[in-house]
Amino acid sequence: MSVLLGLLSALCWGFHDLLVRLISQRFHILSTLCVVFAISCAGLAGKLVYSSLSFDIQLEVGILTSLSGALFAFSTYALYRAFEIGPIRRVAPIIGAYPVFSVFWAVFTGAQISLMQWIAVTAVLGGVAFVARNMGETEENPERFRQALLWSGVCCFGFAVSFAIGQKAILGGDIWVITFYARLSGFLSVLIIGVLSRRLHRVPLRLLPFLCLLAILDTGAFAFVTSAGHFSNPEYGTVASSISGIFAIILGWIFLKERLTPYQGIAVAAVFGGIAFLGL
């Protein structure tokens, strides 16, 4: 079940990252991100009220949730910056490598992972890296590439920590209540940064439908991968969610006309094979 939730998360984030790549080059990142989180909070609050769910939350769970949400918001900002600078084939594999931290953390905290499962995890991450690395070389500004590398690395590490904390917090409450407070924490974090830096700007109304779609995809993906905390081996859900980079690259190939070779197709098959094995 953890793997299935991770796959649903990956699908949502694949479409999300394609939209981010298109939007981040045209509009101010902090303003866009702030609106996306605000829409998420409003939608989740409405769901809780409609479902008659209590907003009450234990203090410890609230602290973990708030920390997870704040880290997720900063990581998402880093993701926006990475996609603003670099092409999908460059930044997606770095961002998608966050399960490395998650699996190592699971081992550190006592989880038992077999050799075959390590091989499956390696196939997933190696396949993501291979597809992205071989999308075709172009001349790039070295300084911009270093910036994209930095932001991608920050995003990768931040996502891993955020998901690990969120999967622990989910054991203490309803998934939608946890997600609401995580998004609220993220929204407040982005808002404070924007106000202090004086970098918030009005977002064009024509962009609102796309931001609503971003909010739905991002919130759904976060809820799916966090829900894996209810099941055994939640780190496999995190690994599965990492193939959002593969989905993003394939969507980039379809819509942005980026090249995908037969060897990359084999790598994609290896990724899905690794995911299938983890789900056994």
Tell me the HSE value of 140 on the side-chain side, using a 13 A CA sphere.
Answer: 16
100: tokens are 């490395």
Which residues are within 8 A (CB) of 156 and not within 5 positions of it... i.e. 6 or more apart? 94, 95, 96, 97, 98, 101
Which phi-psi region, left, alpha or beta, contains residue 260 (left: φ > 0; alpha: ψ -120 to 50)? beta
pLDDT at 133: 61
One digit per residue, the tens of pLDDT, for the chain of length 280 reads 888 898 899 899 888 888 887 787 677 888 999 999 999 999 999 999 999 888 988 999 999 999 999 999 999 999 888 888 877 767 777 787 777 777 777 778 777 777 887 887 787 777 767 765 654 444 456 777 788 888 988 998 998 899 889 888 888 888 899 999 999 999 999 999 889 888 888 888 888 998 999 999 999 998 898 888 888 778 778 778 877 877 877 787 777 666 667 776 777 677 667 766 765 5
Closest by Cα among 242, 243, 251 to 268: 243
Tell me what pLDDT residue 264 has. Answer: 67
27, 207 Cβ separation under 8 angstroms:
yes
**Phi/psi of residue 174, each to 5°?**
-70, 145
Residue 150's Cβ-count burial label (10 Å; 0-12, 13-18, 19+) is middle
What's residue 235's pLDDT? Answer: 74
Q: What is the pLDDT of residue 212?
A: 94
